[in-house]
A and B are shown apart, each in its own frame.
Chain A
Amino acid sequence: MSAIETAPRRRHPRRREYLTFLAFAGPNLLMIALFTYRPLLLNIQYSTLSWNLGSRTATVVGLGNYTKWFSNPRSWEVLRVTGVFTLATVGGTLVLGLLLATALNQRVKGRTAARSIIFAPYVLSGVGVGLVWLFIFDPMYGALSAVLRLWGATGPDWYLDRRWALVMVIIVYVWKNLGYAAVVYLAALQSVPQDLLDAAALDGAGTLRRFTHITVPLLSPTTFFLLITTTLSSLQSFDLIHVMTKGGPIDGTTTLMYQVYVEAFVNGRAGYSAAIATILFAILLVVTVLQMRFLERKVHYS
């Protein structure tokens, strides 16, 4: 790079500047083009092929993979599981995150340390977290069933009941992502003007009323931001599902993202998987566009 800069090209200082730009930004841009943009477009092309992973031959089937997916009753079950998983994880993360942020916003001793501890699961390996909780949920030797037994109760079979398996993955997902929402909400709570809350208090508004009528509406930009980001990551979650249930039992925890993986890398149906990936991408795109619209509006406000 320094060779370019010291090269005797005095006659074209501007061109030299352009070349320096390319030398600096080029490698990164090349990687982004090769491994982010290229696969995105290629995936759409693959989705029109009947093609097994690793095979040298493929037949063009047009929209065949899509009609195959939409006409399969199993797909609707996958959509339902995806919907339940996304709604429950996003709802759980946001509601509990806000409650926790409100608590952290009080004059609690050791608040900074608590904030860090609560955030920690967010940075831990999904595989590791999944295994720790799978052990806790073990219907026979798990800590959870031991605690329930102390109270004379028996837990459901988290491993074999497909509905409870989904509940189990949802709980762990919320556990892992709760801290992120709490910290983001906490930052927003601290910018709620105190004089507004004081004025309402003087007018006789109780704690709950101030919370629902002042704090929550003022937090709505943050809520929308979190709604989008947690929805996007929930729709793409893979690690926990793969480690804890492998999409089972009987597809009970198979989300769209998980189906993309299974079809390509377990069943080897690369074209079919690419079609499902494209459907998932379309859903994610809608969510992202919503986010961008919102951000534009937010810029106008400020």
Chain B
Amino acid sequence: MSTTTHAPDVTLRVAVRDLDPRPDRRPSRLRSLLGGYLPVAIATVVVVLPLAWMAVSSFKRPGEIVHLPIEWLPSTAYPGNYVEAARTVSFGRLFLNSAIVTAVGAGTKVVLALLTAYALVFIRFPAKRLVFTLVLVALMVPPHIALVPNYTLIAQLGGRNTLWGIVLPGLGTAFGTFLLRQQFLSLPRSIVEAAEIDGAGHLRRLVSIVAPISAPSIATVALISIVFEWNEYLWPLIITDDPRYMTLPVGLTLLQNSESGSAAWGVLMAGTVVVIVPILLVFAALQRWIVAGLTQGAVTG
């Protein structure tokens, strides 16, 4: 997968170098400035500034937030907003809930996707094509369209205001199955067949052969699941109303409702930092796999 996004860069560089001595027109500096640097610079600034503003504002005193004319930077870094956010809606607890939901949800998804994709590719079964079609169609079913039936089922099972009630409906994974199946289909059959002759069972073949050589794809599925679980909002919002069982995004809107007045923006930005920065760090470190996985559908068609 990482190759699909990075191969074009190489070809482009080669193509551009070939083109360099253009027959009739030298690449004008002005054009590369207006057509390349300027839009890219503007877009980068438009993306970075709001996030920087969030971070800076989270360290402003309430008086500095509502000061007119605006004070762009705080006089000193004031940590009180974080203290206030933690006090009002116990952000520590919310952070822990989000971490548990994300770890359990993403972990289970990866395991289920691995097992299903392996079965679809390597295990004999009469109705395999039908099974795959059902997975494929599930991939296209809009996830939030049928809220009420899932809500009633989880509520009947006693899952309101529980962490398992938040996690359970999202555990099935059509996306991960689809992505890993594509990867497994590209593996040379001979590797797995060799293990079969050695008498290794399916689970051993998956764990010791298929999974290790598919590590980048598995990382992609894991990372995208982590991002998705951490950010998920609508379902946790519906299924919890007790702050002790909320995830961070839901707690953030609780904070939004309990803090009124413009001076509260500092506290809200502190809460937003806690929601956004972890994913930003994960993205900064591992963006190659995340971008490749999220744009995968476009590449494979």
Contacts and interface: CB of A to CB of B under 8 A. Distances in A.
B283 interface: yes
B294 A122 contact: yes
B19 A243 contact: no
Given A120-B280, A207-B31, A32 B265 contact: no
A128 B145 CA distance: 23
B209 interface: no
Interface string B20-53: 0011110000011001111110011011101101
A264 B147 contact: yes
A42 B116 contact: no
A91 interface: no
Interface stretch (A59-67, A71-79, A272-280): A272-280
Contacts of A225: 297-298, 301
Chain A residues touching B, range? 35 or more
A36 B138 contact: yes
A121 B280 CA distance: 9
B1 interface: no
B32 A123 contact: no
Contacts of B83: none
Interface string A37-48: 111101100100
Given A24-B202, A190-B11, A238-B233, A108 B37 contact: yes
B7 to A, nearest CB: 9
Given A127-B253, A190-B9, A36 B291 contact: no
A7 to B, nearest CB: 11
A29 B136 CA distance: 12
Contacts of B59: none
B179 interface: no
A5 interface: yes
B173 A146 contact: no
A184 B201 contact: no
Contact of B125 (A17, A32, A143, A198): A17
Contacts of A125: 230-231, 233, 248-249, 275-276, 279
A299 B141 CA distance: 22
A115 B23 CA distance: 30
A298 B299 CA distance: 12
Interface stretch (B64-72, B88-96, B184-192): B64-72
Contacts of A31: 112, 171-172
Interface residues of B, number: 112
B173 A42 contact: no
A154 to B, nearest CB: 13
A295 B301 contact: yes
Contact of A183 (B143, B169, B295): B295
Contact of B134 (A2, A29, A46, A183): A29
Interface in B193-209: 201-204
Contacts of A238: 144, 233-234
A139 B15 CA distance: 49
Given A135-B57, A274-B148, 17 more contacts: A21-B119, A21-B123, A31-B171, A34-B153, A35-B168, A35-B172, A37-B134, A39-B149, A40-B146, A99-B39, A103-B43, A141-B70, A179-B47, A182-B43, A191-B8, A232-B142, A242-B253
Interface of A: 1-2, 5-6, 14, 17-18, 20-22, 24-25, 27-32, 34-40, 42-43, 46, 53-54, 99-100, 102-108, 111-112, 114-129, 131-133, 135-136, 138, 140-141, 143, 146, 149, 175, 178-180, 182-184, 187-188, 190-191, 194, 198, 201-202, 207, 221-222, 225-226, 229, 232, 236, 238-239, 242-243, 257, 260-261, 264-265, 270, 273-274, 277, 280-281, 284, 288, 295, 298-299
